[in-house]
Amino acid sequence: MPSTPGWRRRPLLAGNWKLNPLTAAAAVELAEGIRAAAGTQDQVDVKVYPPFTWLLPVADRLAGGPVGLGAQDCFWEPSGAYTGEISAQMLSGWCPSVILGHSERRQYQGETDEQVSRKAAAALAAGLEAIVCVGERAEQHDAGETEPVVAGQVRGSLAGVVADDSPRLVVAYEPVWAIGTGRNADPEHAYRTMRLVRQTVAELIGEGAAQRVRVLYGGSVNAANVESYVELPECDGCLVGGASLKADEFSAMIASTAAVYGAVAQ
């Protein structure tokens, strides 16, 4: 594995809160804890992705501070008869980032690459940052199919993306078997697959534009292992689930990432 290069894209630690916490008060308290930790450094972009119902109270509490806000999904149409959906236009202007194609939505809502690509195109056209998630399932990993599966997901899910989108495009490599299991991917596996993600993005939008895209690792990242990912040359941060619900632990992850990047910058 090559060593960390002397230049890096700005790292992102994104906290995906999923269907947590249960109350607005708990969401605001968590946001406050993360805001305090993020403000002690200037090396790392820190963003949180609460459930839709807590976006407004959390946005209120984060206003003017260093922590960014995002949603966990959006729909591809701007408006209309689509019960239960939220559009990219509705988020635009006050909720600048969105996670799309998370494996839990692919699993429980049956989302396809084609649907994810429509959502990504809509989000980027509305001016949002899009974090598009890809990753192989356990049986695909065990069968040695990681590379074709992930390359296919990148091609399918980013079909509508153009080079000008690259500063607002993030791809999160999240092996499904590593999500919420405590079985985080070996950094060597993560490195090889993130490198493949960037090569595949380059085929779609060109090498120069692909160099501006941030590629994250996600899957059982915590304070004890975050450094082993963010020091990888192809890794521009992490998408964090369970550990982002604990302000202390997420704060420690921010500090570790900032230390890795601070060392690179010297």
Residues that bind ligand PGA (CB under 6 A): 16, 174, 179-180, 218-221, 239-243
Q: Is 117 exposed, middle or buried (0-12, 13-18, 19+ CB in 10 A)?
A: buried
Amino acid at 148: P
Shortest gap between Cβ of 11 and ligand PGA (angstroms)?
16
Q: Which is nearer to ligand PGA, 150 or 205 (CB)?
A: 150
Shortest gap between Cβ of 63 and ligand PGA (angstroms)?
25
- CB-based contacts of 103-112 (< 8 A; 24+ apart in sequence): 103/133, 103/135, 103/137, 103/174, 103/176, 103/179, 104/18, 104/179, 105/73, 107/176, 112/156
Q: Which is nearer to ligand PGA, 26 or 265 (CB)?
A: 26
Give the separation between CA 52 and CA 63, rounded to whole angstroms. Answer: 17
Which residue number places its CB atom closest to ligand PGA?
241
Shortest gap between Cβ of 124 and ligand PGA (angstroms)?
20
Q: Which two tokens stand for residue 8?
A: 């890096």
Q: Which is nearer to ligand PGA, 89 or 228 (CB)?
A: 228
With CA atoms as reference, report the closest residue to 210 among 252, 264, 171, 263.
171
Q: Which is nearer to ligand PGA, 61 or 106 (CB)?
A: 106
Beta strands in 139-265 (DSSP E): 169-173, 214-218, 237-240
Shortest gap between Cβ of 2 and ligand PGA (angstroms)?
26
| SS3 (DSSP) at 111 | coil
- Other beta carbons within 10 angstroms of residue 167's beta carbon come to 10
CA 181 remoteness from chain centre:
18
The secondary structure element, H or E, covering residue 262 is: helix 247-265
Shortest gap between Cβ of 239 and ligand PGA (angstroms)?
4
Q: Which is nearer to ligand PGA, 33 or 180 (CB)?
A: 180
Q: Which residues are catalytic?
A: 102, 174
